[in-house]
Structure 1
Amino acid sequence: MKTQLSTANLSGIETELLAVLTADTQTATQAAKGSDAKPELTLLTSDAAVKSAAAAALGSGEFKAGPNETILLHAPAGLAAKRLLLVGTGKLSKATAHSVRSAAGTAIRFSKPRTIRDVVFALPEAAELLPGPCARAATEGALLADYDPDTYRSDRKDQSVYNFILAAPASDKAAIEAGYNEGIIVAESQNFARELVNEPGNKLTPTILGQRAAAMAKSHGLKSEVYSTDKLHELKMGAFWSVSQGSEEPPALIVLTYEPEGYDAKTYSGPVLGLVGKGITFDTGGISIKPADKMELMKYDMAGSAAMLGAMAAIARIKPNVKVISVVCSAENMPDGKAQKPGDVQIAMPFKDGEPGKSIEIINTDAEGRLVLADGLTYARQLGCTHLIDAATLTGACVVALGPVNAGGFSNDDETFGKLQKALEISGEKIWRLPLGDEYYDQIKSDIADIKNTGGRWGGAITAAEFLHVFAADTPWIHLDIAGMAWYEDTKPFIAKGPSGFGVRSILEWVRSYEQ
């Protein structure tokens, strides 16, 4: 989909569809009158002709301007557009740039099955909605909405929107242009992550994931190194290797490095941020095999790695002034005769030569993600990372706790997590902080080894995080359990069913918060 920024008058733009936001501006006093009080609908544009064309629809009572609610007007009087689509934001007092992101996506998803090829989206004019952030959000929403996961369908229908124009007022030109350009970068990076997650296990093995990561790195000017079995043995990554050993497919240890402009290793004194991703390209559960129902979705068990690779793609193009290293640990978890067994003891990578690695009793081979991340976190620390963030589709327990609404967030450092919370204000993603504590760590103590890889049924997401905490040690660290957010089970008004690319935007903004 081609995108364009325009400052032309809305009423004069020739297009197949013009989308304009509408908000409910009813005050709290009016709402207190009860259900008989009608919504006060306001079109978020100053164009008089557009307001006139929409007046009858706004006054009909048919349209309430709820979030992502739509009403289509054909041949609107006084406009050059063939159609006028009103998209609701809900209460204006609660609207944010994320509301604009969803609304722009709704306009595109509305247009696609109707074979509408050209869409103009009017940037909202409202004091509550800043033009720069809204320009970025609208562009992101449109590009994300145009993606569909039907990659391998032989009867794939062309329902793409060919041209998207963001129509903006002439004021605040610099902020709008900056937001628009960033929106393109972020959405393309998030869609890259979605493409990776959508690939089936036979089309995206650990080796191929490494190739895709290296190709992205080369195109964006990142340094890349992709290793396999020999490197895991050299580094004594016994936890990572234990997951790999049951598969015919070799593992991949992927390391991407971004260095800011003018970087000099001898003089650089800023933080080094480590982005660690779980890259299980297919998860059968191993010997502790999963039920057959919905096992096909376990191709998405590498969504944490996709989030990190998508974030690195965006970082390379936006160029924040901070060094970033991404470590992706990719493997298949298969129940071969060589696979690890419940009761086995594995030795994780030592942080320093001469030190022993942590011994891990394997209770359940389906708790494999934390094993690869354990060595990934240790390696990131060894590479000099001063702050860590990991992402993984780690536990079903987190989905039980938070549903498909929030990802789980854990941290050993309030300041570090506070930066992520600020990042969420920009990204629009939802992450809820869950606790850590010695009582939870006690659940993963082993009688035969240092720790065990599951802590039982209760608090499963937290005990998994405590397991990772062992390997983050005292380094400021965040763990994101995105199991409930990485794959949309249902189509939403603004985005297709399937891979979400969750985490790319938040991780990017967390990284930017450390700019020097």
Structure 2
Amino acid sequence: MGMYRFDKYKSNASEGGLGEMTIVEFDESKVDALQKGVSEGCVIGEAVNFCRDMANEPANNMTPSDMVEQALKVAHTHGVELEVLERARMEELGMGALLGVAQGSEEPPKFIIMRYNGDVDDEENNIGLLGKGITFDSGGLDIKNAAGMSTMKGDMAGGASVIAAMQAIARLKPKINVTVIVPATENMPSGTAQRPGDVVRAMNGKTIEIDNTDAEGRLVLADAMSYARSVGLNRLVDVATLTGAMSVALGDQCMGAFGNDDEFTQQVVSAANSVGDRAWPLPMFDEYKSQYSSDIADIKNTGGRGAGSITGALIIGEFNDGAPWVHLDIAGMRGARGQQWRHCEGRDRRAG
């Protein structure tokens, strides 16, 4: 992981890297444990670098359809189930929030579902891993400036994270049933793009007034959460480059964690901290919800300038139907070689 480089498109890419490494252990009784650790470490390291490769690809080579191809490789290589919902099926299911974001792009949206069945005798022993898959985020009609748009190929890093996690899960074979869900689309401005003031209806029937078209990640995750609950997933973790406000709050040293269940949130935070992907829990007080109330719909898709990461998380939480859930806002975290997945949604970016 430390030697990772993304030089696929460089004509003079180096052939560097370790050819061989020898680990010496003088206590023979520890060799088996050492070999197990090396094996598991390789699985995780390869998954992390796979995620990095996906997020580093330019948006013309990592469209929603290309994300499907990456998921297909994992499914075929490691024996997990893959299902991809096309636009017509999304319409049948009532995924109006996701389709509202997608309607500005000529690239067809994809709803990627991957399933690993590690505990076939207990269907309730399950978890859903949801990843934001915006393969390019122009901001839509509330368009970003040039500097804000320059890194938006990485706005699908959440989706890449959970697809890569599934690769590791399929190889490590934990005793749990895992479903990965990635709502994948571009957010583009066009004559067919959704407008500020539009109202969309999510899969669970809740209506959303579009206050800002650049607050699109919470919209696609709203339908992903609704779908996850409709298929019986009873613990949920979503991963998203959601808000620029997250970078303001925590910088680039840890991600924000937001949850509705203290015990489950602490489990996720502890797991993150134990492997160096530091997370910090932030408050989710009900009083913040008034910031995204709407005069004409159930909610708006932004909560204004204050507490932008919190209101973004709470909006996603409107669709979890009471299940224990944790939202990880990874917008400020640094990627390989110090590259940062900078992202700003909606009015959060105007806040700084």
| TM-score of Structure 1 vs Structure 2, range by shorter chain | over 0.9
Q: Alpha carbons of 1:273 and 1:154: their partners in 2 closer, same or farther (altered >3 Å)?
A: same
TM (norm. structure 2) is 0.94
| 2:150 paired with 1:289 | no
Considering only aligned residues, what root-mean-square deviation do their CA atoms show, in Å?
1.4
Distance 2:206 2:221 in 1: 13
Given that 2:264 and 2:325 are in contact with CA atoms closer than 8 Å, whether structure 1 keeps it comes out as: yes
Shift of 1:160: 2.0
Map 1:44-443 to 2 at 5 A.
144-170=1-27, 171-260=29-118, 263=120, 267-350=121-204, 357-443=205-291
What SS does the corresponding residue of 2:67 show, helix, strand or coil? helix
Tell me the SS of whatever aligns to 2:22: strand
In the alignment, which residue of structure 2 is the partner of 1:498?
339
Q: Which amino acid aligns with 2:338?
A: K
8 A contact 2:101–2:194 mirrored in 1: yes
Deviations 1:462-503 (A, max 9, x none): 000110110013100000000001x44xxxxxx523378xxx
Aligned-pair CA distance for 1:228 = 1.7
Shift of 1:387: 0.2
Partners in 1 of 2:242 and 2:272 — Cα distance? 21
The residue number in structure 1 matching 2:315 is 467
Contact (CA 8 Å) 2:256, 2:328: kept in 1 or not? yes
Instruction: Give, as a single letter, the amino acid of the residue that structure 2 aligns with 1:474.
Output: G
Separation in 1, partners of 2:61, 2:307? 35
Aligned length: 340
Residue type at the aligned position of 1:167: V
Q: Which has the higher contact order (CA 8 A, sep 6+)?
A: 2
Secondary structure of the equivalent of 2:88? helix
In the alignment, the residues of structure 2 paired with residue 269 and residue 223 of structure 1 have an alpha-carbon distance, to the nearest angstrom, of 16
Cα distance between partner residues in 2 of 1:433 and 1:426: 15
Aligned residue identity for 2:19: Y
Aligned to 1:77: none
Per-residue CA deviation, residues 383-410 of structure 1 (Å, 9 max, x unaligned), is: 1101000000000001100000110000
Mapped contact 2:229–2:321 kept (Cα < 8 A) = no
Structure 1 contact 214–226 (Cα < 8 Å) conserved: no
Equivalent position amino acid for 2:74 in 1:
M
Match of 1:452 in 2: 300
- Note if contact 2:202-2:208 (Cα within 8 Å) is conserved in structure 1: yes
Change (3 A) 1:365 1:423: same
CA distance in 2, matches of 1:307, 1:464: 20
The 8 Å contact of residues 124 and 234 in structure 2, kept in 1 or not, is answered as no
2: distance between equivalents of 1:444 and 1:165? Answer: 56
Cα separation, 2, equivalents of 1:324 and 1:432: 24
- Give 1:270 deviation, angstroms: 3.7
**8 A contact 1:288–1:364 mirrored in 2:** yes
Shift of 1:150: 1.7
Cα distance in structure 2, aligned partners of 1:269 and 1:227: 23
- How far did residue 367 of structure 1 move? 0.2
Distance (whole Å) between structure 1 residues aligned to residue 328 and residue 189 of structure 2? 27
Supply the distance in 1 between the matched residues of 2:43 and 2:33 (Cα, whole angstroms). 16
User: Distance in 2 between the 1:361 and 1:383 partners?
Assistant: 26
- How many angstroms apart in 2 are the aligned matches of 1:458 and 1:425? 27
How far did 1:175 drift? 1.9
Contact kept? 1:149, 1:498, Cα under 8 Å? no
Structure 2, unmatched stretches of 5+, are: 342-352
1:169 alignment partner AA: F
- CA–CA separation in structure 2 for the residues paired with 1:455 and 1:234: 30
Deviations 1:104-149 (A, max 9, x none): xxxxxxxxxxxxxxxxxxxxxxxxxxxxxxxxxxxxxxxx022202
- Paired with 2:170 and 2:266, the residues of 1 have a C-alpha distance of 24
TM-score by length of 1: 0.64
Query: What is the SS of the residue equivalent to 1:303?
Result: helix
- Preserved contact between residue 194 and residue 499 of structure 1 (Cα < 8 Å): no
Aligned-pair identity (%): 47
How much does 1:425 deviate?
Answer: 4.4
**C-alpha deviation, 1:418, in angstroms:** 2.0
Aligned twin of 1:32: none
Give, as a single letter, the amino acid of the residue that structure 2 aligns with 1:446: S
Query: For residue 118 of structure 2, what is the amino acid of its counterpart?
Result: P
Cα distance change, pair 484–223 in 1 and its aligned pair in 2 (3 A): same
Q: Partner letter of residue 341 of structure 1? A: R
The structure number with the bigger radius of gyration is 1
For 1:184 and 1:155, locate their aligned partners in 2 and report how far apart those are by CA, in whole Å.
Answer: 27
